[in-house]
Amino acid sequence: MNAVSNTKTNPLFSNTAPKADETYRSSAASMTSIQTPEISFVIPAMNEEDSLQELTLQIAAHVGTTNYEIILIDDGSTDDTWAVIQALADLNPSRIRGLRFRSNRGKAAGLQTGFDIAEGELIFTMDADLQDDPKEIPRFIAKIREGYDLVSGWKAVRHDPWHKVLPSRVFNQMLSHFSQVKLHDHNCGFKCYRREVAKSIKLFGELHRMVPSLAGMQGFKVTEIVVQHHARKFGVSKYGVERFIRGFSDMLTMGFLRVYRERPSHFANFCAVGYGVVAMCLIAGAAVAGIQTFAGVVTLLMAIAFLGMGGACMIAGLFAELVIRQHSPVEAQPVVVDTDARRLAAIKAEFIAADNELTAVTASAPRHSKRELSHV
């Protein structure tokens, strides 16, 4: 076995995307003719040593092509997950490679690291616990070919305890409202992306739950299909109740970014107006109570404080606008990135057909002489 690289990064002080502490590709891979894969599978795993071999075999049986790659990311496992990944890469050097975090960095960091090196035109993400069924892969591909950019799985029937299912359904409804991306299951790990989608989003923290929302905010077409969900076969769940608290915080962030990411001063000015209204009410109350009275003085001081907070909000909004304009110029982020080639071809075909029809009608129309036209 041969570790290709061994680099260290500090996620707390790094402004770049997360990097794996170790990458692994069998030394036999350099002796194998490797084509650019059509499909990439990005699969984070933590303490999933028992499921990885079966998962890779099922993917190979259902992917429908021999030109694919599987990127397995060991997210700080304490069992033999990394050794299993290395063994799988040695057995299938042209298709399997591994990345490793020495400590647990979270699913978002694992996905982002996998996205960074994935080469396929289509990129799948799956959980490593065998709850996602690789038999669904052809259905995802067929849906993508209908013109969508991201297809998310919907676990309509879930084999999870009720205390995970109920909060998840509430969260999904709220997130659909905040993000305006209407899905039943935003957090399903089974997804298929066009390459440009996976390469354009940046994941960190807990934003892996928000991938459809992030894609929708950039104008990509997002949909979902019902997928089969299996009960966990090996190991235990890695998530607890705290994930819902973190998810709710990220959901509020997503809603804020959707509305105000390019105009933060609007939110700041909205807050400033609110503070101003409260200050005016307090000034009126101070006038009624009498400026000379103790209550009037206290009320007036409170009004001044609210006016100051309103002014601070306005100034903060202006600085936020400066930051946005400096680091995210409009020229660098066009609203329309690309046009779907198939849709564009269909539109051109319609125009050509209409033009040919018009030409045929014009050619068959009776022609009038100049003398006839002069009498019209």
User: Cα(202)–Cα(211) distance, rounded to whole angstroms?
Assistant: 9
Which whole number is the average pLDDT over 105-129?
Answer: 92
User: CA 353, 359, 360, 363: dihedral to nearest 10 degrees?
Assistant: 180
User: Cα(105)–Cα(208) distance, rounded to whole angstroms?
Assistant: 12
User: Cα(20)–Cα(105) distance, rounded to whole angstroms?
Assistant: 10
Quick one: what percent of the chain has pLDDT higher than 90?
38
What pLDDT does residue 160 have?
A: 64
User: CA 134, 131, 203, 98: dihedral to nearest 10 degrees?
Assistant: -70
**Per-residue confidence at 365, pLDDT binned at 50, 70, 90?**
low
Query: Does the global pTM surpass 0.75?
Result: no
User: Cα(350)–Cα(345) distance, rounded to whole angstroms?
Assistant: 9
Whether 295 shows a pLDDT value over 80: the answer reads yes
What pLDDT does residue 361 have?
A: 59
pLDDT digits over 204-250, tens only?
777 788 888 888 888 899 999 999 888 777 666 655 556 667 767 77
Which whole number is the average pLDDT over 336-359?
Answer: 60
Whether 65 shows a pLDDT value over 80: the answer reads yes
Whether 293 shows a pLDDT value over 60: the answer reads yes
What pLDDT does residue 373 have?
A: 37
Concatenated DSSP letters of 74-125 = EES-SSSHHHHHHHHHHHSTTTEEEEEESS---HHHHHHHHHHH---SEEEE
Q: Determine contact, residues 75/107, Cβ cutoff 8 Å.
A: yes
What pLDDT does residue 106 have?
A: 87
Query: 344: part of which helix (H) or strand (E)?
Result: helix 341-364
Residue count of the chain, please give it: 376
For 174, 218, 315, 327, the CA distances from 322, given in Å and listed in that order, are 32, 22, 11, 9
What pLDDT does residue 74 have?
A: 94
pLDDT digits over 122-175, tens only?
999 999 989 899 999 999 999 999 999 999 999 887 766 666 667 777 777 777
